[in-house]
């Protein structure tokens, strides 16, 4: 259980970092990408968000190699510390008005390092949790990793909500947006404390006593390319939907619809917290009924409900109704989020598990990272959320097709040797 909790806390840091950026993008735009056209500044800010995803596969290779050759726990300590430092540094960056072009350059550099380290986090945490859990309870224990990723968004929403409640809009625009980035420092210290106390998983220790892979990346690419492709498609299908909503929605409703930031962030915090509490239940259901059945329900629900949900969001001004619609959307998505990392890990043999999972997850996340930027461009052109409903609908179809054609059922089976 300690392994699952430590993995979940690290994933919380990873997605807290990314969520904070998305939540305060509306404030960052003017400080780092000044423009007389607000939409251009938002697009540039979302582009900086995207670049963090583009470099993730490189980080996945680096930390995957470390995790497969030297131990899962060592890699997980490095990733969480580096991500925390980068996030805090963003909160301290001088603006464009102070140092000119160096400001956006420094922001992009920190996003690159942040994305590089994040590339090794989720795959390592899920691998460690799965290898440390009983075979018949892997779904439950490993659900704490995506619970951590979703919890990162919830904590980010709470922090931003508290800051916007305490400060005036002018203070928030001027300097208050920096506070959420700095809050990550004590959270990182707590997570690092837990991770330093972890020993490596029994699976890794057993493998290390025999032989570790000389080149995990070459081995996984040459021997398991289809598994990497399946992992990438499942990641795209699962997180393309959640990241779109969690990252772009605040910008759309606050900047585009004029909804007050403070109540919107609190609504997000409540909705996300309610959704993540269901993840252990979903994980337990996958242990009992199989990963594929539960995930197919989620992907099918996304494909069917995307258009009516986005239409309802577009035509609603009531924050409570927006929250209910968003909760339905995220609960359906939760059927896939709670298990996607685990299925990816279970696909890979243990000698290249960390590298293979990291490669597949991060290749899928490259496409995910473009979602908010595409959404901003489409909404800027059409003036409506409805056209981007095609994105989660397509993701649902991709996820269902991937599961039905080629992915074996992994519930109750031993991890691949």
pLDDT (tens digit per residue) in 120-135 = 887 888 888 888 878 7
Domain for residue 209, yes or no? yes
Residues with Cβ within 8 Å of 323's Cβ and at least 6 positions away in sequence, in order, are 267, 270, 271
Q: What is the distance of C-alpha 127 from the center of its chain?
A: 16
Tell me the Ramachandran region of residue 318: left when phi exceeds 0, alpha when psi lies from -120 to 50, beta otherwise: beta
Per-residue HEC secondary structure of 27-90 comes to HHHHHHCCCCCHHHHHHHHHHHHHHHHHCHHHHHHHHHHHHHHHCHHHHHHHHHHHHHHHHHHH
Domain for residue 30, yes or no? yes
Domain for residue 229, yes or no? yes
Q: Whole domain around residue 51: which residue ranges?
A: 2-404
Which pLDDT score, from 0 to 100, does residue 294 have? 93
**Residues 352-366: pLDDT tens digits?**
888 998 899 888 888
Band (403; pLDDT cuts 50, 70, 90): very high
Higher-scoring residue by pLDDT: 209, 314: 314
C-alpha to C-alpha distance for 162 and 183, rounded to whole angstroms: 12
Domain for residue 410, yes or no? no
Domain for residue 413, yes or no? no
C-alpha to C-alpha distance for 220 and 380, rounded to whole angstroms: 41
**How many domains is the chain built from?**
1
> What is the reported pTM?
0.81
Residues with Cβ within 8 Å of 228's Cβ and at least 6 positions away in sequence, in order, are 220, 221, 356, 359, 360, 363
Higher-scoring residue by pLDDT: 401, 155: 401
Q: By CB neighbour count within 10 A (0-12 exposed, 13-18 middle, 19+ buried), where does 208 fall?
A: middle
C-alpha to C-alpha distance for 13 and 19, rounded to whole angstroms: 10
Average pLDDT, the chain: 82
CA distances from 260 to 119, 165, 280 (A): 34, 11, 33
Which pLDDT score, from 0 to 100, does residue 4 have? 58
C-alpha to C-alpha distance for 207 and 273, rounded to whole angstroms: 38
Q: CATH number of the domain that 168 lies in?
A: 1.20.1250.20
**Local structure of residue 416 (DSSP, 8 states):** P
Domain for residue 72, yes or no? yes
Which pLDDT score, from 0 to 100, does residue 150 have? 77
Band (227; pLDDT cuts 50, 70, 90): very high
* Contact between residue 84 and residue 187 where contact means Cβ atoms under 8 Å apart: yes
Domain for residue 414, yes or no? no
Portion of the chain with pLDDT greater than 90, in percent: 15
In our burial notation (b when 16+ CB lie closer than 10 A, e otherwise), range 289-321 reads ebbbebbbbbbbbbbebbeebbebbbeeeeeee
* Contact between residue 363 and residue 340 where contact means Cβ atoms under 8 Å apart: no
Higher-scoring residue by pLDDT: 214, 233: 233
Which pLDDT score, from 0 to 100, does residue 198 have? 73
**Residues 144-199: pLDDT tens digits?**
888 877 788 788 878 888 888 888 888 888 888 899 899 888 888 888 887 777 77
Domain for residue 412, yes or no? no
Q: What is the number of residues in the chain?
A: 417
**Residues 60-117: pLDDT tens digits?**
889 888 888 887 778 888 888 888 888 889 889 898 888 887 888 888 888 888 888 8
CA distances from 322 to 151, 271, 311, 373 (A): 20, 10, 11, 22
Mean pLDDT of 31-59: 68
Band (389; pLDDT cuts 50, 70, 90): confident
């Amino acid at each position: 259980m300690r392994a699952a909790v430590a993995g979940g806390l690290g994933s919380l840091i990873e997605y807290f970092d990314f969520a904070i950026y998305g939540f305060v993008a509306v404030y960052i735009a003017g400080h780092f990408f000044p423009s007389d056209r607000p939409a251009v500044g938002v697009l540039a800010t979302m582009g900086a968000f995207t670049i963090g995803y583009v470099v993730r596969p490189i980080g996945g290779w680096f930390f995957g190699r470390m995790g497969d050759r030297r131990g899962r726990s060592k890699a997980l300590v490095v990733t969480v510390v580096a991500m925390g430092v980068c996030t805090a540094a963003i909160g301290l960056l001088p603006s464009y008005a102070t140092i000119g072009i160096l400001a956006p350059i420094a922001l992009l550099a920190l996003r690159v390092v942040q994305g590089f380290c994040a590339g090794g986090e989720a795959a390592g945490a899920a691998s460690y949790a799965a290898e440390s859990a009983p075979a018949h309870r892997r779904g439950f224990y490993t659900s704490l990793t995506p619970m951590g990723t979703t919890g990162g968004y919830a904590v980010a929403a709470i922090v931003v909500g508290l800051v916007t409640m305490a400060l005036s809009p002018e203070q928030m625009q001027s300097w208050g947006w920096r506070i959420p980035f700095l809050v990550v420092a004590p959270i990182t210290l707590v997570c690092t404390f837990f991770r330093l106390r972890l020993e490596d998983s029994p699976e890794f220790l057993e493998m290390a006593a025999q032989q570790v892979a000389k080149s995990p990346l070459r081995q996984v690419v040459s021997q398991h390319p289809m598994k990497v492709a399946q992992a990438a498609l499942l990641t795209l299908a699962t997180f393309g939907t959640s990241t779109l909503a969690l990252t772009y929605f605040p910008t759309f409703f606050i900047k585009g619809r004029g909804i007050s930031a403070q109540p919107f962030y609190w609504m997000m915090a409540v909705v996300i917290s309610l959704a993540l509490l269901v993840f252990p239940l979903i994980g337990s259901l996958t242990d009992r009924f199989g990963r594929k059945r539960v995930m197919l329900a989620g992907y099918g629900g996304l494909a069917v409900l995307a258009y009516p949900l986005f239409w309802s969001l577009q035509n609603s001004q009531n924050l409570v109704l927006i929250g209910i619609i968003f909760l339905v959307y995220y609960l359906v998505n939760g059927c896939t989020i709670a298990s996607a990392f685990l299925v990816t890990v279970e696909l890979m043999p243990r000698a290249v598990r960390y590298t293979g999972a990291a490669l597949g997850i991060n290749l899928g996340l490259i496409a995910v990272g473009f979602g908010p930027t595409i959404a901003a461009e489409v909404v800027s052109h059409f003036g409506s959320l409805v056209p981007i409903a095609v994105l989660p609908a397509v993701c649902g179809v991709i996820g269902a097709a991937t599961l039905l054609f080629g992915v074996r059922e992994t519930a109750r089976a031993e991890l691949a040797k």
